[in-house]
Amino acid sequence: MSFRLRVLLLIFFLVATSTAATAWLTLRQASQQLTASAAASERDVALAVDELGDYGQVHGTWFGIDALVRSLADRLHQRIRVVTEAGTVLADSDLLAGRGHIAGHIAIVEGRSHGRLDGGVRAGHERQYRAVVRRVGLHVE
């Protein structure tokens, strides 16, 4: 085997090895970032649900929720959209910011399943809460 052929094969081997190593490192880093992003997303949803639920408990109404939705969207860098079961939009951070409708990932959260909106309202606010909930189209038993 000639010297030139050996050098050519060595160069080919080095190029193939470095390409494979670069592909593996890129895949590994992308996988780690995706995993971290999913965990952060779950934390963001939990935080938003908690704060929105607390707002519903304290105020007994969704009126005025716009300020909280804007604040959550700014802090979490996520779109926050509050809708009734019938699909009526109560607040949407993109619309509030004047961006219009932007398609993207949606996390659907059933407020009643978290025990916050139907069972945790203080007695003094219960009547007002039920009236407001009926007005926006939610079912209350």
Residue carrying the six token digits 């993109």: 94
> Is 10's pLDDT higher than 90?
yes
What is the pLDDT, as a whole number, of residue 123?
44
Is residue 65 one of the residues assigned to a domain?
A: yes
> Is 93's pLDDT higher than 70?
yes
What is the pLDDT, as a whole number, of residue 116?
43
Please indicate whether residue 61 or residue 68 has the higher confidence score (pLDDT): 68
**Helix 65-76, helix 3-59: angle, nearest 10:** 160
Q: How many domains does the chain have?
A: 1
Question: DSSP letters along 87-135, please?
Answer: --EEEEHHHHTT------------GGGGTSSSS---HHHHHHHHHHHHH
Return the sign of the alpha-carbon dihedral for residues 35, 40, 45, 46.
positive
Is residue 141 one of the residues assigned to a domain?
A: no
Is residue 108 one of the residues assigned to a domain?
A: yes
Strand, helix or coil for residue 141: coil
What is the pLDDT, as a whole number, of residue 104?
55
> Is 118's pLDDT higher than 70?
no
> Is 120's pLDDT higher than 50?
no
pLDDT (tens digit, 9 = 90+) per residue, 15-24? 999 999 999 9
Its domain, for residue 99, covers 3-136
> Is 42's pLDDT higher than 90?
no
Is residue 100 one of the residues assigned to a domain?
A: yes
Q: Is the pTM of this model over 0.85?
A: no
